[in-house]
Amino acid sequence: MRHILSILIENEAGALSRVVGLFSARGYNIDSLTVSTTEDPTLSRMTIVTHGSDDVVEQITKQLNKLIEVVKVIDLNESEHIEREMMLIKVRATGKDREEMKRMAEIFRGRIIDVTEKTYTVELTGTNDKLNAFIEALDRTVILETVRTGASGIGRGERILKI
Amino acid sequence: MQISGAEIVVRCLQEEGVEFVFGYPGGAVLEIYDAIFKQDSFKHVLVRHEQAAVHAADGYSRSSKKVGVALVTSGPGATNAVTGIATAHMDSIPMVVLSGQVGTPAIGLDAFQEVDMVGITRPCVKHNFLVKDVNELASTIKKAFHIASTGRPGPVVVDIPKDVTQALAEFHYPESVSIRSYIPATKGHPGQIKKAVNLLAEAKRPFVYVGGGAVLGDACNEVRELVDALNLPCTNTLMGLGAYPGSGDRFLGMLGMHGTYEANMAMQYCDVLVAIGARFDDRVISVPSHFLGQAKKIIHIDIDPSSIAKRVKVDIPIVGNVKDVLVEMLAQIHAGQVRPDPDGLAAWWKQIALWRKPNSLWFDQGSEIIKPQFVVQKLYEVTNGEAFVSSDVGQHQMFAAQYYKFDRPKQWLNSGGLGTMGFGLPAAMGAQLANPNATVACVTGEASIQMNIQELSTCKQYHVPVKIVNLNNRYLGMVRQWQEFFYGNRYSESYMDALPDFVKLAEAYGHVGFRIDKPADVEPVLREAFSQKLKERLVFLDFITDQTVNVFPMVGNGKGLNEMDLPPHMSEYESVPHPAANRDYGNLS
């Protein structure tokens, strides 16, 4: 099953490699990983999307907690949460495709953020599924380049991951 | 007053009360060695290979309650240390390893003797640091000692670039450390402990399984109290030997791949298992599904949450310092007069007596060739069971574990997790330095001893009088055994040809050597080696032993704990399905 792990980790050199090293050393999966500093510059927030049985995910959480620099770990799947991912997708926009691409971007509430005579670059934010749906909706031959950030997640309502 | 980074390192070690630093100098640590030259509060032991420095620091720590310290230079010095670090990591040994690094401006430029030590050791340390600013040096070393020695212990590497050792700073050693992201567990959850006590009260076939965590967590008195107060049968893992006395009546011997028949059977057929500071690893329970095939409830006490439910799901997990948890548990037991089901327990002990009867460790010393087990048995007798015993890895290690009855924790030093050949001699060296008046023996084999034999030289220099018991069967014994059992007797590269004359070798290093090839000489020569006359000397005892001996019992690959290969005298137990299998013990009379 797919799980989204949210990690608060010391913003120190090498901290990221400890997390990544842990996943590869123990044979866990990383589907996506995003990381950046928080409002407190000494802390980074990391979101890792992984998949595995409940036992495996429990063990991943424990192993992450064992890393000295990890301050807190939560499995967002344990309660209501919101997840967003951003994608920049460059598509061919010539001839009849040009109007079609604009329409598709609008349907998915994307924004065209760069325009040339032959291309559009669309910025699209949403859940993993929504971004996949957008890609599915396009003719493969018009897609020139795709860049995705991987999911970021946050708990709903009062649920907060903070020290 | 400002002092150099190198002097700061020395001052930090003094503040930590370090007695010995095991190390080897080189370019990147010259400043530190210069600072060591100018001090006399701790002693530096110059080993002959960095791996041995780390094993010696490890043996020093295992045989005492202190943190081991090793110091190595950058590049090859650092990489040579890695096996030692990984060994300590697998067995959770508290240790601080200081490694030199090329100057910060040179890092990443493939400088001479540069290696990414923090990167290389990341998967085999509890934590590691690269110190880039001399102002953070003291606080980092303080953190390193704190992390190494608290929670589940482990090795911590501090990588120090040369320019940091040369830079100047004020020295201030913090009194205490607080790391917001590192708060080790202490007391267990009282509700969980209560549940555990209630479960014990219902037990008909209780069993206590004690691992290295009880030794490291200084909880052996509590383990003994629990086992004795409730009259529980008990086993120790390879790492836990000595936690409960090996000569105790309630002790069923070590369990696992080469555990005794009774310990493995009891482990398989108990109904309530109390696991204390142990981790259900593959060499202990073999296949988890088979182990759990026989229904049982498991109480698991461990300081490391990730050890719990890693291989085996348990019913009552208790995360906490084993000592604190057991103290609370005992308090509840005493307050509530808790006892397991008396009839059930009596029947269970009766069953255990049947399992014990054939004595799975029996062997025949009838022939004219020395049996390795016989040597360990005699070693136990001659040293009154009081020696510190280190071992290398292989058959001799298992014989030492099976036949030397360790009554004290920290008396037995071996590389249980990583299984590092070459561990024994340097570890014995560290143990002897930590316990200068104690008897220290290194039980080894002719293959293992050659992996760090250069340390005979270190032993000479520092007058380290360890006694080396070499069980010389001219084979990589355990490899040979597996080849016999599982590879059709094809002894691929497991014969040790062209062995040195170990007696002459010992003498060449300035020590005493004996070669023993008759059973009748085993005891007299051991007596001489451990006599007052040779107390101050390192003695190398080269026992020429039987080449065909296998370690029994043995739980083979993929087998269950109750499916042991047994020694020849127990053949009838193998061919017939054991009467215990799938039987309801409640009805035993």
Give the DSSP per-residue string, B372-419: HHHHHHHHHHHTTT-SEEEE-SSHHHHHHHHHS---STT-EE---SS-
Chain B positions in Cβ-Cβ contact with residue A23 (cut-off 8 Å):
none
**Across A118-124, average pLDDT:** 97
Q: Which of A13, A59, A163 sits opposite B306 (nearest CB)?
A: A59
- The answer to whether the CB atoms of A17 and B304 lie below 8 A apart is no
| Cβ neighbours of residue B401 closer than 8 Å, sequence gap 6 or more | B238, B241, B254, B258, B391, B412, B414
- Interface probe for B, chosen from A7, A43, A62, A73 (most Cβ of B below 10 Å), is A62
Residue of B nearest to A11 (CA): B181
User: pLDDT tens digit string along A40-94?
Assistant: 999 999 999 999 999 999 999 999 999 999 999 999 999 999 999 999 999 999 9
| Gap from A35 CA to chain B (nearest CA, Å) | 18
Chain B positions in Cβ-Cβ contact with residue A58 (cut-off 8 Å):
309
Q: Which two tokens stand for residue B450?
A: 């050659």
Residue of A nearest to B146 (CA): A68
How far is CA B276 from each of CA A140, B84, B218, B402, rounded to the nearest angstrom? 58, 26, 12, 20
How far is CA A112 from each of CA A86, A119, A127, A144, A146, rounded to the nearest angstrom? 13, 10, 19, 15, 14
What single-letter amino acid sits at B255?
A: L
User: pLDDT tens digit string along B250-292?
Assistant: 999 999 999 999 999 999 999 999 999 999 999 999 999 999 9
How far is it, in rounded angstroms, from Cα B70 to Cα B53? 6
Chain B positions in Cβ-Cβ contact with residue A9 (cut-off 8 Å):
181
- The answer to whether the CB atoms of B305 and A62 lie below 8 A apart is yes
User: pLDDT tens digit string along B108-159?
Assistant: 999 999 999 999 999 999 999 999 999 999 999 999 999 999 999 999 999 9
R_g over Cα of chain A: 18
Length of chain B: 589
Q: Taking CA B146 as the corner, what is the angle to CA B140 and CA B147, rounded to the nearest 5 degrees?
A: 90
- The answer to whether the CB atoms of A55 and B309 lie below 8 A apart is yes
Q: What is the pTM of this model?
A: 0.95
- The answer to whether the CB atoms of A9 and B309 lie below 8 A apart is no
User: Angle formed by the axes of helices B342-356 and B261-269, to 10°?
Assistant: 150
Length of chain A: 163
Q: Which two tokens stand for residue B364?
A: 């025949």
**Strands B68-72, B20-23: pairing kind:** parallel
| Gap from B309 CA to chain A (nearest CA, Å) | 8
How far is it, in rounded angstroms, from Cα B117 to Cα B122? 8
Evaluate whether B197 touches B338 at the Cβ level (below 8 Å).
yes
Chain B positions in Cβ-Cβ contact with residue A53 (cut-off 8 Å):
none
- Interface probe for A, chosen from B140, B306, B312, B319 (most Cβ of A below 10 Å), is B306
| Interface of chain B toward chain A, CB-CB under 8 angstroms | 118-119, 122-123, 126-127, 130, 147, 179-182, 304-306, 309-310, 313
Among positive and negative, which fits the CA dihedral B187, B188, B194, B199?
negative
How far is it, in rounded angstroms, from Cα B473 to Cα B483? 15
- The answer to whether the CB atoms of A21 and B122 lie below 8 A apart is yes
| Cβ neighbours of residue B125 closer than 8 Å, sequence gap 6 or more | B85, B89, B154, B155, B156, B157
What single-letter amino acid sits at B20?
A: F
- The answer to whether the CB atoms of B123 and A25 lie below 8 A apart is yes
* Token pair 């599924």: residue: A129
Average pLDDT of chain A?
95
Q: Which of B118, B119, B181 sits opposite A69 (nearest CB)?
A: B181
Q: Which of B181, B304, B306 sits opposite A10 (nearest CB)?
A: B181
Q: Which two tokens stand for residue A70?
A: 């990890």
Chain B positions in Cβ-Cβ contact with residue A45 (cut-off 8 Å):
none
How far is it, in rounded angstroms, from Cα B83 to Cα A40? 39
Q: Which two tokens stand for residue B514?
A: 């004996």
Evaluate whether B201 touches B344 at the Cβ level (below 8 Å).
no
pLDDT of residue A60: 97
**Across A137-144, average pLDDT:** 94
- The answer to whether the CB atoms of A21 and B126 lie below 8 A apart is no
Evaluate whether B554 touches B255 at the Cβ level (below 8 Å).
no
pLDDT of residue B547: 96
User: Active-site residues of B: which are they?
Assistant: 50, 112-113, 162, 478
Residue of B nearest to A43 (CA): B181
Evaluate whether B441 touches B389 at the Cβ level (below 8 Å).
yes
User: Angle formed by the axes of helices B372-382 and B519-529, to 10°?
Assistant: 40
* Token pair 């202990």: residue: B284
Q: Which residues pair with B217 in a beta bridge?
A: none
pLDDT of residue B574: 59
Residue of B nearest to A68 (CA): B182
* Token pair 């004020």: residue: B170
Q: Is the pLDDT of residue A134 over 90?
A: yes
Question: How many residue contacts between A and B have a Cβ separation below 8 Å?
Answer: 37
**pLDDT tens-place values along chain B, 589 residues long:** 999 999 999 999 999 999 999 999 999 999 999 999 999 999 999 999 999 999 999 999 999 999 999 999 999 999 999 999 999 999 999 999 999 999 999 999 999 999 999 999 999 999 999 999 999 999 999 999 999 999 999 999 999 999 999 999 999 999 999 999 999 988 999 999 999 999 999 999 999 999 999 999 999 999 999 999 999 999 999 999 999 999 999 999 999 999 999 999 999 999 999 999 999 999 999 999 999 999 999 999 999 999 999 999 999 999 999 999 999 999 999 999 999 999 999 999 999 999 999 999 999 988 899 999 999 999 999 999 999 999 999 999 999 999 999 999 999 999 999 999 999 999 999 999 999 999 999 999 999 999 999 999 999 999 999 999 999 999 999 999 999 999 999 999 999 899 999 999 999 999 999 999 999 999 999 999 999 999 999 999 999 999 999 999 999 988 999 999 999 999 877 544 444 444 444 333 3
